[in-house]
Amino acid sequence: MSGLLTLRGLSRPVLGDLLDSAERYGKQLEGRDKESSELAGVTVTTVFFEPSTRTLLSFQKAAAHLGAHVMSFNPEVSSLEKGESLRDTVLTLSALGSDLLVVRHGGVGVPGLVARWTGLPVVNAGDGRGEHPTQTLADALTMRKHFGALEGLRMGLVGDIRNSRVARGHLWALPTLGVDVTLIGPRSLLPVANPWGVRIETDLDSALEGLDVVYLLRVQRERGAAAGFPSVSAYASRFGLTQTRLSRLHPSAVIMHPGPINRGVEICDAAADGPRSLILEQVANGVPIRMAVLAAAMGAE
Ligand code: NCD
């Protein structure tokens, strides 16, 4: 594997190997000796054009645990402000000795362009509405650890599916891993096409009880999603995981969200902070999965 731009087309064994490798790294992180030298001498550069907390920091931490040098490019204080183009910027990062780029950008397909321009392995850390492959893998790892297996799990992706790169990554990979995915949202926030052939529902209440995993998505206001919905309270009452809905979940069901969460909109406090919430486990699993992806992208695994 050279870089990771998309999960589309990856086979079950390839996805399974990444999850297995992440589990091994997870065990390593729990032990006393957390560091390895697998990527010693390798320079990993993070190139983030959109805000990030967990994705950026977990990539940096993952690279550090593998013994890599980490450079971090910040567009706001860079020569982009002086008119340098994106292509010249990434060629500069390559000339500075980057061996692998981790790219987040608002434009769909930009990580692929960067890979073409530089010839370097690129890991997609979120491209607009495109995909967010490592979030999907972190979530698959979280579910596999919690339930023991992915095959047959019934997952509802709830909310702004149309604008969600997280949902798109899930749709390309989770059915391959045996997860039964249903999309649940208002028509204005559902995808225009359904190339995955998954079930689609517009009523959360009728779909809720049959789910093992309720996966909530943030309404992507920055991508124009609010236009399709009259008000935050109208959204919360139809698609938010409220206290009432929480009490109707299957006894073993869990709640997931990629973060950042908007409390009182897609999720109530009791759901976010309660015992069914895997939200912080998803964050924690972001580190070993990114170790697995970086190692694989550099041919170390
Ligand atoms: C998501 C993203 O940026 O795609 N967050 C994340 O990386 N964990 C989801 C979001 O912003 O809603």
- CA proximity to 254, closest of 167, 153, 174, 183: 153
Ligand 1 proximity of 55 Cβ (cutoff 6 Å): yes
> What pLDDT score does 227 carry?
66
Ligand 1 proximity of 133 Cβ (cutoff 6 Å): no
CA 29 – ligand 1 centroid, Å: 24
Among 49, 56, 59, 132, name the best residue to mutate to test ligand 1's pocket (greatest count of ligand atoms within 8 A of Cβ).
Answer: 132
CA 259 – ligand 1 centroid, Å: 6
Could you tell me if residue 7 is inside a domain? Answer: no
> What pLDDT score does 272 carry?
98
Whole-angstrom Cα distance, residue 168 to residue 183? 11
Sheet of 254-256: strand order equals: 199-201, 180-184, 154-158, 213-216, 254-256
In sign, the C-alpha dihedral spanning 145, 190, 263, 106 is positive
How many structural domains compose the chain?
A: 2
Residue 61 and residue 138 in one domain:
no
Could you tell me if residue 95 is inside a domain? Answer: yes
HSE-up of residue 85 (Cα within 13 Å, Cβ side): 5
> What pLDDT score does 78 carry?
86
Closest atom of ligand 1 to CA, residue 286: 8
* All residues at 6 or more sequence positions from 35 whose CB lies less than 8 Å from its CB, including other chains: 65, 67
Residue 246 and residue 157 in one domain:
yes
The pTM (predicted TM-score) of the whole model is 0.96
Residue 74 and residue 142 in one domain:
no
Is a pLDDT exceeding 60 seen at residue 301? no
Is a pLDDT exceeding 90 seen at residue 166? yes
Whole-angstrom Cα distance, residue 283 to residue 4? 19
Ligand 1 proximity of 168 Cβ (cutoff 6 Å): no
| pLDDT band at residue 287 using 50, 70 and 90 as cut-offs | very high
Is residue 205 within 8 A of residue 245, CB to CB? The reply is yes
HSE-up of residue 34 (Cα within 13 Å, Cβ side): 11
Answer with the residue of higher pLDDT: 6 or 188. 6
CA 32 – ligand 1 centroid, Å: 31
The residues with which 154 forms a beta bridge, in sequence order, are 180
| Tens-digit pLDDT profile for residues 228-256 | 666 888 889 999 999 999 999 999 999 99
For residue 288 the two structure tokens come to 């070993």
Domain containing residue 292: 12-129+283-297
Residue 185 and residue 195 in one domain:
yes
Residue 268 and residue 142 in one domain:
yes
Closest atom of ligand 1 to CA, residue 132: 4
Ligand 1 proximity of 16 Cβ (cutoff 6 Å): no
| Tens-digit pLDDT profile for residues 252-270 | 999 999 999 999 999 999 9
Residue 151 and residue 291 in one domain:
no
Residue 40 and residue 78 in one domain:
yes
> What pLDDT score does 228 carry?
64
Q: What is the 3-state secondary structure (H, E, C) of 4-68?
A: ECCCCCCCHHHHHHHHHHHHHHHHHHHCCCCCCCCCCCCEEEEEECCCCCHHHHHHHHHHHHCCC
> What pLDDT score does 98 carry?
98
Ligand 1 proximity of 104 Cβ (cutoff 6 Å): no
Residue 212 and residue 98 in one domain:
no
| Tens-digit pLDDT profile for residues 13-46 | 999 999 999 999 999 999 888 889 999 999 999 9
| Tens-digit pLDDT profile for residues 63-113 | 999 999 999 999 988 888 888 899 999 999 999 999 999 999 999 999 999
Q: What is the mean pLDDT of the chain?
A: 95
CA 204 – ligand 1 centroid, Å: 22
Domain with 25 in it: what CATH number? Answer: 3.40.50.1370
Q: Whose CA is nearest to atom 12 of ligand 1?
A: 218
Residue 49 and residue 93 in one domain:
yes
Ligand 1 proximity of 170 Cβ (cutoff 6 Å): no
| pLDDT band at residue 137 using 50, 70 and 90 as cut-offs | very high
CA 33 – ligand 1 centroid, Å: 31
| Tens-digit pLDDT profile for residues 186-220 | 999 999 999 999 999 999 999 999 999 999 999 88
Is a pLDDT exceeding 90 seen at residue 222? no
Residue 168 and residue 275 in one domain:
yes
